[in-house]
């Protein structure tokens, strides 16, 4: 997605050889026009798939999820990291974060996912793919169909994308970073 | 906002006399059309205020914030509850949650708020008003102007709204709940 890559070139900051900061337009400050355009782009890429729900994880997935769900005109569900006191019956998965070096639980109320759902999963970053695998577990538990995954920025130098594609997942990444070495952002192709 | 009140009547669930569950359309599953309409409604109510930024708190404020920021065509900033490892220089405030009976820290990078900003703060619920007071502290620290607050659902039977209005804050709540007694949702007016 050219507009996104232009943003990344202009506003992205290389923190180190594995960390790209996009907090001025994606995950702390958000550019709403770019975000809605990202939703439209996912719509284009998955439009013939009869998606009836979008799933993501709080917190940084929510804006992407809303933009995408609005483009498809279907509900967004976001998985929670803490079980709300008012939630009883839910699907759970454990996700290990390599960035934070800790595991966390994600949960979705059973009210909002079932075997009739054809679900597009979206998230801001794809690195090792653990968050996606966690959400896939939740979809399996619900009997829902994991139609595909829409990722804003894939770290092409980490294993997640390769692993997921080899496992037959329809993965669409709007920008794939090949390398952050020497303080330089290199895109794939 | 009539559309919102109709949603609440139809899909809201009274968990107890102080807790209204709206997780089927606002804070777990989200109806994107309603959410974008909420953003448009805040635009109408604050349109002559020269707002140049929208501020909220993760996680359940983000969707409301994105919809509002898109309507105003200005950036959204969401305060984080955990300091990201890549964030150094930031504004902080402590917020006490009566629901969870615990305090948490919220922070915003100094990059994204300054003395030139005229800020609209938005959130899903207003109860005791502690989250808004925390965000007001952050705006004060930044020297930014707290133009007003847009709330989706105000619990009119708790103290936050009264306290904030008495302190001169321009507060717009799209639905004000007068009572949840006897398992019945009563709106103000």
pLDDT tens figures, B6-31? 999 999 999 999 999 999 999 999 99
B41 pLDDT higher than 90: yes
What per-residue confidence (pLDDT) applies to B85? Answer: 74
High-pLDDT (> 70) share of chain A, %: 100
Q: If you average pLDDT over residues A49-62, what whole number do you get?
A: 97
> Helix (H, G, I), strand (E, B), or coil: what is residue A84?
coil
Question: What's the CA gap between A130 and A128, in Å, rounded?
Answer: 6
Looking at the DSSP bridge assignments, the partners of residue B155 are B177
- Give the residue on B whose Cα is nearest the Cα of A58: B59
B84 SS3 class: coil
B31 chain-A contacts, CB cut-off 8 A: 75
Query: Are the beta carbons of B177 and B21 closer than 8 angstroms?
Result: no
pLDDT of residue A33: 98
Q: Does B59 touch chain A (CB under 8 A)?
A: yes
Average pLDDT, stretch B155-164? 96
User: Does the pLDDT of residue A44 top 80, yes or no?
Assistant: yes
Identify the pLDDT of residue B100: 79
Among the listed ranges A139-143, A171-175, B98-102, which one has the minimum average pLDDT value?
B98-102
Length of chain B: 189
* Averaged pLDDT score across all residues of chain A: 95
Residue A99 has pLDDT above 80, yes or no: no
* pLDDT number for residue B158: 96
Asked if the model's pLDDT at residue B101 lies above 90, the reply is no
* Cβ–Cβ below 8 Å for A109 and B23: yes
CB contact, 8 Å: A109 with chain B?
Answer: yes
Reported confidence tier of residue B83, pLDDT bands at 50, 70, 90: confident
Q: Which two tokens stand for residue A11?
A: 């506003």
Domain of residue B111, residue span: 2-187
Residue partners of B106: CB distance under 8 A and separation at least 6: B57, B79, B80, B81, B92, B93, B94, B95, B131, B134, B135, B138
Cα distance from B111 to chain A (closest Cα, Å)? 8
Nearest CB to B59: which of A29, A58, A86? Answer: A58
Write down the pLDDT at residue A98: 77
Rounded mean pLDDT of B117-136?
A: 97
CB of A138 closer than 8 Å to CB of A105? no
Q: Does A23 touch chain B (CB under 8 A)?
A: yes
Mutate: best of A13, A65, A66, partner B, most B CBs <10 A: A66
The C-alpha atoms of residue B152 and residue B39 are separated, in whole angstroms, by 10
Structural domain total, chain A: 1
What span, in angstroms and rounded, lies between the C-alpha atoms of B104 and B89?
18
CA B38 from chain centre, in angstroms, equals 12
Cα–Cα distance measured from residue B30 to residue B46, given in angstroms and rounded to the nearest whole number: 24
pLDDT at B19: 94
Q: b or e along B1-22 (b: 16 or more beta carbons within 10 Å of the residue's beta carbon)? A: beebbebbeebbebeeebebbb
From start to end of A31-144, where are the E strands?
A: 53-57, 76-79, 90-97, 102-109, 118-126
The H-or-E segment that residue A30 falls in is strand A29-30
Return the number of CB contacts < 8 Å for A and B: 118
- A31, A69, A77: residue with CB nearest B75: A31
Q: Encoding tokens for residue B183?
A: 């398992």
Q: Give the pLDDT band (50/70/90) at residue B82.
A: confident
Exposed/middle/buried for residue B183 (C-beta within 10 Å: 0-12, 13-18, 19+):
exposed
Residue to test with chain B: of A34, A42, A86, A90, most B Cβ within 10 A: A86
The answer to which of A16-25, A153-162, B78-87, B127-136 has the lowest mean pLDDT is B78-87
How far apart CA A147 and CA A32 sit, in angstroms, is 26
Contact B152, B123 (CB under 8 A): yes
Least confident piece of the model among A39-53, A76-90, B43-57, B143-157: A76-90
Average pLDDT value for residue range A127-139 = 96
pLDDT of residue A48: 95
Q: How confident is the model at residue B97 (pLDDT cuts 50, 70, 90)?
A: confident
Q: Do B24 and A111 touch (CB under 8 A)?
A: yes
Nearest-CA distance from A166 to chain B in Å? Answer: 31
Q: What is the DSSP letter of A117?
A: -
CATH number at residue B140: 3.40.50.2020
> Which residue of B17, B25, B62, B75 is the best one to mutate when testing the A interface, meaning the one whose CB has the most A CBs within 10 A?
B62
Q: Is A15 on the interface with B (CB under 8 A)?
A: yes
What is the structure's pLDDT at A115?
Answer: 98
- Cβ atoms of B74 and B84 within 8 Å: the answer is no
């Amino acid at each position: 997605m050219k507009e996104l890559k232009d943003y990344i070139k202009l506003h992205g900051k290389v923190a180190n050889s594995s960390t790209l900061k996009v907090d001025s337009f994606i995950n702390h400050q958000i550019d709403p026009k770019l975000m809605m355009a990202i939703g439209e782009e996912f719509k284009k890429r998955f439009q013939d798939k009869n998606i009836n729900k979008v799933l993501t994880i709080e917190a940084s997935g929510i804006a992407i999820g809303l933009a995408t769900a609005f483009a498809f005109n279907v509900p967004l569900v976001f998985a929670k990291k803490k079980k709300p006191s008012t939630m009883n019956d839910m699907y759970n998965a454990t996700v290990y974060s390599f960035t934070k070096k800790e595991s966390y639980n994600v949960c979705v109320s059973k009210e909002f996912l079932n075997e009739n759902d054809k679900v597009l999963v979206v998230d801001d970053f794809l690195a090792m793919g653990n968050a996606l695998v966690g959400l896939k577990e939740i979809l399996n538990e619900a009997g829902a169909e994991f139609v595909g995954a829409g990722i804003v920025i894939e770290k092409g130098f980490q294993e997640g994308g390769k692993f997921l594609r080899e496992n037959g997942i329809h993965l669409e990444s709007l920008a794939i970073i090949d390398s952050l070495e020497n303080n330089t952002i290199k895109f794939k192709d």
